[in-house]
Amino acid sequence: MKDYFSPGSLITVAGGALTVVGAIAYTTGSANLSLPTIFYGIPILLGGLALKSSELPPAMRITPVETLRSQREAADPELGKLVNDVTRWRYGQKAHLESSLEALKLWDDDNPPQLEEIEELDTQDGYGLRMRFQLGAVSLERWTEREARLGRFFAKGLRAEIKDLGGDQLDLLLLPVQAT
């Protein structure tokens, strides 16, 4: 449910409601009600609209929150932080994991890769993640060149696998290094 109501939407609705109440109070001659509601309603409405113009919705979470809770808690804490970071509303960013993709040189200012969904995996070797990206202007070749670094970048003891899904999509799997 929280995925449908962004903070920007809630603030916009609250500001709009206050503004409408203030306008109605003004037309009916209720000065005690119209002044505060318009005085607060219009700036709140404008602030909410500003948030809406710069919001980035959360990546779709395939695995329900409760399903792999014990595996997530036992795994590297960086993976849990990664999941929490990309499954919340962001403001003022072009894409999820913007700074990470820039550091990995997988970034394009005009058409950056977009994280579409994230799935938690319970593999034979432990807890891992699958992230589906829309490539944007970054080629699949650039992703595969950095495949060895991707796993180490997000947490120690991980390896990365890139699966080409055809078209303009890929799956990045972050899996635990297999025990020998």
Q: Are residues 36 and 61 in the same domain?
A: no
Structural domain range at position 18: 7-53
* HEC-encoded secondary structure of the chain: CCCCCCHHHHHHHHHHHHHHHHHHHHHCCCHHHHHHHHHHHHHHHHHHHHHHHCEECCCEECCCCCCCHHHHHHCCHHHHHHHHHHCCCEECCCCCCHHHHHHCCCCCCCCCCEEEEEEEEEECCEEEEEEEEECCCCCHHHHHHCHHHHHHHHCCCEEEEEEECCCCEEEEEEEECCCC
Residues 90 and 145 in one domain: yes
Residues 69 and 15 in one domain: no
* 76 and 134 part of one domain: yes
Same-domain check for residues 23 and 110: no
pTM of this prediction? 0.80
Q: Are residues 47 and 64 in the same domain?
A: no
**Inside any domain, residue 149:** yes
Q: How do residues 29-57 score in pLDDT, each as one tens digit?
A: 887 888 888 899 999 999 999 999 999 99
pLDDT digits (tens, 9 = 90+) for 6-33: 899 999 999 999 999 998 988 888 878 8
Could you give the number of structural domains in the chain?
2
